[in-house]
Chain A
Amino acid sequence: MMFFSVIAVNLILLLWSPSLVEVSVTKSLSFLKEVLLILPPVMVLMGLLDVWVPRQMVEAHLGYDAGLRGAGFAILLGTAAAGPLYAAFPIAVSLMNKGARVANVVIFLGTWAAIKIPMIIIESSFIGLRFALLRLMFTVPCVLAAGYLIEAILPVDEVLVSAEQV
């Protein structure tokens, strides 16, 4: 959708300033090359992680009894998954229905969104290794804090009722 809109804008611009379109296309192509060299192998790794990390076993380790280990597990689970954040919502709901605590579900969602171990490779190649590691170091405590805060504020029943309505 966005792609075709941009192509349309480029075509209109072609009438007005062909040199500008030339710059636009050149920049896009060099960016495309960069993405194509890196994206496919990382997606293969994410697919492998997705298949080899057993879900059933993991779900038993996210409840109240798991304690801090549960939070660690939530981080591992979120970081190993493939896909955009909205793909995590159904999995998070099923985790919660199977007894995962709210804090761990929020931690799982936060990790899924912002921290991905295979992505550290991408992040450090596009931005820098120091940047990627520092961001990881600061993001983990923030995600943990958000998880426990939401659990403290929201009654578990309320979240569960919303989740069960789906």
Chain B
Amino acid sequence: MLPIIFWSVASLALLVSWWRDPDRTVKAIQVCGRSLKGLVPGVLGMIALVGLVLALVPQEALAKLFTAKGVIGFATISLVGSIFTMPAPIAFPLAGSLLRAGAAPAVLATFITTLTMVGIVSAPMEISYFGLRFTLLRQTLSFIAAIVIGLLMGVFL
């Protein structure tokens, strides 16, 4: 049902955009194509890895890591999320499959936030653009924000 809505809304928006300005629509499709092409290696790797991890790691162990109530479990998830930076379209399906494996929603909120906002891997690039102090400050504050968001989600969900 949901995919049908996505495809119809996207097609309709594309038609309206084409009617208003065909050139601009072609540019939008190019932007979309570039983003998709950029996403393909990450998406393929993620899909293969999710399958392998789900097959290799017993569901209970995975659920245990992501459902760990203690501070240590919470910290582990936050750190795992902080190493890599993933665009949201890859982070959400991954989080969804973890949820079905039994992960706690609050932990997933922290995981998503660190995954998208904090990236040790992309830090060198950020430093070259904004300097070391800016990068350290932004990533540290984002990490703290991720913990706060996770705790708040835990209260409300």
Contact = CB atoms under 8 A, between A and B. Distances in A.
A90 interface: yes
A143 B3 contact: no
Given A23-B55, A163-B129, 10 more contacts: A2-B45, A2-B48, A27-B51, A83-B35, A93-B129, A110-B117, A122-B89, A127-B105, A128-B105, A153-B137
Contact of B129 (A3, A90, A145): A90
Contacts of B131: 158-159, 161-163
Interface of B: 2-3, 6-7, 9-11, 13-14, 17, 24-25, 27-33, 35-36, 38-39, 41-52, 54-56, 85-89, 92-93, 95-97, 99, 105, 108-109, 112-113, 116-117, 119, 122, 125-126, 128-131, 133-134, 137-138, 141-142, 145, 148-149, 152-153, 156-157
A52 B51 CA distance: 38
Interface range, A side: 35 or more
B47 A32 contact: yes
Which of B28, B45, B156 counts the most chain A CB atoms within 10 A?
A: B28
A85 B142 CA distance: 13
A38 B2 contact: yes
B49 A6 contact: yes
Interface of A: 1-3, 5-7, 9-10, 20-21, 23-29, 31-32, 34-35, 37-48, 50-52, 82-86, 89-90, 92-93, 106, 109-110, 113-114, 116, 119, 121-123, 125-128, 130-131, 134-135, 138-139, 142-143, 145-146, 149-150, 153-154, 158-159, 161-163, 166
